[in-house]
Amino acid sequence: MASSPFIFSALLLFTFSLSSSSSLAKQSPRPNALVLPITKDKTTLQYTTVINSGTSRDKPGTPLVAASLVFDLGGGHLWVETDTYYWSTTFQTSHCNSPMCYRAGSHGCSRCYSDYRPGCNADPCTLTFKNPVNGMVDTGDIASEGTRDLLNGLANGTVGMAGMGRHPVIGLPSQFAKAFGIKISKLTTTPLLVNPVLVADPIVYEPFVYGEKSPEYYIGVTAIKINEKTVPINGTTGLGGTKLSTVNPYTVLETSIFKAVTSAFVREATARNITRVPSVKPFGPCFSTKNVVVTRLGYAVPEFQLVLQSKDVLWRFFGANSMVSVRSDVICLGFVDGGVNAETSVMIGGLQLEDNLIEIDLAKNTLGFSSTLLGRQTNCANFNFT
């Protein structure tokens, strides 16, 4: 059984793996990996990547066109706005009630009477999808698109979203990972969990109504520590558990957890003579940089730790992954309050994932992580994309 890396990035470093039989490997040579650089949009703090897709509408038959997409780690689909962007001479629709539609989890059909093009086909099956940034919902043909309004709130120049969730048929990792064949290094691993509570909108993710798994990536957090001291909380499994997200720039905590974590952090920071200053939205505790040393791991502040399946399995976050510089002399703890009815108890955001090597093994249903690569005197941007 071989693992197959799918995606690398410049700020985030992910690999997705599927098992593949040795007989398949012997039949044909396979490339080592599919590499997608990921960059961070400074305005929206969204992560973007580029994927070559169908040809431009005004130049049918020309080579593939580079599509800039927002990278959504837990997104169930790849969708592209096609009203002004997309035209493909090789486009093929999936017809209503076909095996592909069934496997993709489609439970609806549509009909269009205009000229044939992506988004206007005879008897296609459809999926409902969502822009998680602005909450807008739309319906598109399988292998098709979204409307221009769905792009509102996305980084300038992007034309859709690259969902990397674990849908067994139409998820990008599932489609591509089988084609690649190297094994990533030894990492600390933790089981991936099925979302314990239905938090996704059933209008958006119709398969949930029929008992299918969420495409998002959840892990089990048994405790939270600040500087090795356990934070007294009621648990992190309640409303949906702990989820990884690249759509949220910062970690989002349910209100009671947010209050407990920030209070513990402030106590530890005060013990180091770090001076608290007025908060800067959207953050809670903020501090003066006057007594804070800058190290290879970022600002020397109390360490944030997630305790996973046992007390010996810790995901550690140092200053580079916990603090946000809001002014030249002020830094803030990069966590935000998600409210009392937060979608999940803990949503690990983009800042906390930066410069971590993460391997998602879809066959073994595990997540491997390195904690910050800065401690190893490297970072994700040092990956050789050639």
What confidence tens digit (pLDDT) does each residue in 78-95 have?
777 765 555 555 555 666
Q: Is the confidence at residue 199, as pLDDT, over 70?
A: no
Tokens of 112: 């269009």
pLDDT at 233: 84
Residues facing residue 39 across a β-bridge: 48
pLDDT at 286: 98
Q: How many residues does the chain have?
A: 386
Percent of the chain with pLDDT over 90: 36
Residue carrying the six token digits 């999940």: 344
Rounded (5°) CA angle 60-66-70 = 130
CA gap 148, 172 in Å, rounded? 22
Is pTM beyond 0.75? Reply is yes
pLDDT at 197: 47
Mean pLDDT, the chain, integer? 77
CA gap 145, 69 in Å, rounded? 12
Least confident of 104-113, 172-181, 192-201, 343-352: 192-201
pLDDT at 8: 40
Q: What is the pLDDT of residues 27-36, one digit of tens each?
A: 445 555 566 7
Query: Mean per-residue pLDDT for 284-309?
Result: 96
Which of 192 and 104 is assigned the larger pLDDT?
Answer: 192
Neighbour-count burial for 272-294, b at 16+ CB within 10 Å, e otherwise? eebeebeeeeebbbbbebeebee
Query: Mean per-residue pLDDT for 66-76?
Result: 87
Query: Mean per-residue pLDDT for 148-177?
Result: 79
Q: Is the confidence at residue 262, as pLDDT, over 80?
A: yes
Q: Is the confidence at residue 106, as pLDDT, over 90?
A: no
CA gap 96, 347 in Å, rounded? 36
- Decide: helix, strand or coil at residue 263: helix
Q: How does residue 298 score in pLDDT terms, banded at 50, 70 and 90? A: very high
pLDDT at 293: 95
Which of 96 and 254 is assigned the larger pLDDT?
Answer: 254
Report which residue type is found at 12: L
Least confident of 74-88, 227-241, 255-269, 351-365: 74-88
Query: What is the spatial order of strands in the sheet that 137-141 belongs to?
Result: 108-109, 125-130, 137-141
Q: How does residue 7 score in pLDDT terms, banded at 50, 70 and 90? A: very low
pLDDT at 328: 92
Which of 217 and 10 is assigned the larger pLDDT?
Answer: 217
Q: Is the confidence at residue 187, as pLDDT, over 60?
A: yes
Least confident of 58-72, 135-149, 342-356: 135-149
Q: Is the confidence at residue 317, as pLDDT, over 70?
A: yes
